[in-house]
A and B are shown apart, each in its own frame.
Chain A
């Protein structure tokens, strides 16, 4: 085994019709997923949707009741964890407390028979890669949470695994470190070119780092696609409402369009084709007008209920005449002009949206 860092590579990973139950709970219900070589796929979903189980089955830490795990064309379903050649970063801090950062990173190399000098050199290189070249002799208790997870990442990469598995590695960190480390993980993943499966329940994290995002529910993938498509073209209400904020606005559906707050909106595939339904509209699609036409009523007539400042933009909640609460995302300058109780007119942008019956 060499100690040089791989710069290209990655293998295809395929999870085929995986099923796993714990008593009456079906954690995986025929889940299938294929990762292309060098791709970073994020599994996203609410607690208990089966995303971590899928990752653990791939790692060999859990056995599937049925289904196959194929890596680089080889069925590894019956191969034990220790022989699967996968690097894993855990949600909980997993550094070995009795070892220094260098010893932690070198641990996997020692098991692979790499001699002392090469091992130390390689461990130093991987610690450099995660920006901890100066902390090689520190123990876990002498490092912050973010540093510990960086060492864990270096340790996982040092064995030059076929696949990198990240099980909510950022969830124990504070917001600022989380953003820094998430960007760093993506940079390193692209640098190394390793096929990576990342599990998280944080949608912002998922959208920020993924080549593709798989949204899971009840042991199955509801939709898997690029972050842009997942956000703007959800295939069902669950995906639309799980990713980002969504308003459910009543609309009159006719063919491939619906009239929502007086605007004709094109509908995405999977929407009903007639009748009255709920159209799922993102807050940034909602427009707020402060000019009220005198003597006329508009379906978007509403009263401002709350305003909130979020930096470059802000959010306004307004209540329609039928009691529906609508959230709009606007530039901060416009939010500042609005006040609670003010009468406004809401309209929506005519961009594709999903409707549900």
Chain B
């Protein structure tokens, strides 16, 4: 037999525990602490190697701080010597490659993925498999396969580094596919495209005016990852005997370890600046859209 009535239970409970507002504040504090711990750990994971690289590029064997490598980097940017030319040509080639690779990737993937969703959805798995294939094959094996193709490209087009864009488009497929796939999953492609078609839009109009604006963040993220990948690519360019930024850094820094480290940091900085520009560009587009609302 119990002497406690139902109504007494919440009274007892509320008198023992802290009030809900305090509980919420404590939970918020815990979440904030957890977030900062995560930021510090992840930040450390990225920044410690970069700091080590910087330290190594500015210390000689005796442990003394020296700036000769960075002075050399500075002079490379302005000097008219072969190393400087090599770097500038490599950087120019890489930037062109970034632009061409992004164009090929977007032109190839966005319409194809949209079309597959609309007309042949049963082919999605096949498409995914084909796109992810480049991820499962080591770069060196890919180069072995691509070498004869590039021999033909050299005959038909030229030996210009710029034609590496075809190989790079294959290289970025897995990452770009994943990003665009997530973007397309977030919108009702079928209904939106049918609505646009019924209003008189052509297929090109559907892609350019409806699909791409609605997957803009997915496109930007696909561009981010492709840009980072192309700027840092070394294996294809080196083994196919082409000149890009990574191979130029390697060649210039071959005789001087500190210079190589300083140049590596510079290349990371270049990639960072490009990503920042891309990010600012996408944000400014969003901002303009927001203002029109």
Contacts and interface: CB of A to CB of B under 8 A. Distances in A.
Interface residues of A, number: 31
A90 B199 contact: no
A61 interface: yes
A243 to B, nearest CB: 30
Interface of B: 187-188, 191-192, 194-202, 205, 209-210, 213-214, 216, 289, 292-293
Nearest to A88: B198
B192 A82 contact: no
A139 B201 contact: no
Contacts of B292: 100, 137
Contacts of A107: 196, 199, 201, 209
A155 interface: yes
Contacts of A97: 187, 214
Contacts of B197: 61, 80-82
Contact of B198 (A59, A92, A96): A59
Contacts of A61: 194, 197-198
A98 B199 contact: no
Contacts of A80: 197
A112 B191 contact: no
Contact of A100 (B191, B210, B293): B293
Contacts of A342: none
A61 B194 CA distance: 7
Contacts, number: 72
Contacts of B216: 98
Interface of A: 59, 61, 80-88, 90, 92-94, 96-98, 100, 107-108, 111-112, 137-139, 152, 155-156, 159, 165
A83 to B, nearest CB: 7
A230 B293 CA distance: 48
Contacts of A137: 292-293
- Which 5 pairs from chain A and chain B are nearest by CB? A108-B199, A94-B195, A88-B198, A81-B197, A111-B200
B282 to A, nearest CB: 13
Given A81-B194, A93-B191, A98-B213, 17 more contacts: A81-B198, A87-B198, A88-B194, A88-B195, A88-B198, A90-B194, A92-B188, A93-B188, A96-B196, A98-B214, A98-B289, A100-B293, A107-B201, A111-B205, A139-B293, A155-B199, A156-B198
A350 B197 CA distance: 53
Contacts of A87: 198-199
A94 B293 CA distance: 19
A212 B157 CA distance: 66
Contacts of B194: 61, 81, 88, 90, 94
A107 B209 CA distance: 10
Contacts of B192: 94, 96
Nearest to B215: A98
Given A96-B214, A98-B213, A98-B289, A111 B191 contact: no
A271 to B, nearest CB: 44
Contacts of B213: 96, 98
A61 B198 CA distance: 8
Given A137-B293, A139-B293, A96 B200 contact: no
A96 B205 contact: no
A97 B191 CA distance: 12
A108 B214 CA distance: 18
B200 A108 contact: yes
A97 B201 CA distance: 16
Contacts of A94: 188, 191-192, 194-195
Contacts of B200: 82-83, 85, 108, 111-112, 159
30 contacts: A61-B197, A80-B197, A81-B197, A82-B197, A82-B198, A82-B202, A84-B198, A85-B200, A86-B198, A87-B198, A87-B199, A88-B194, A88-B198, A90-B191, A92-B191, A93-B191, A94-B191, A94-B194, A96-B214, A97-B214, A98-B213, A98-B214, A98-B289, A100-B292, A107-B199, A107-B201, A107-B209, A108-B200, A159-B200, A165-B198
Nearest to B199: A108
A271 B187 CA distance: 52
Nearest to B289: A98
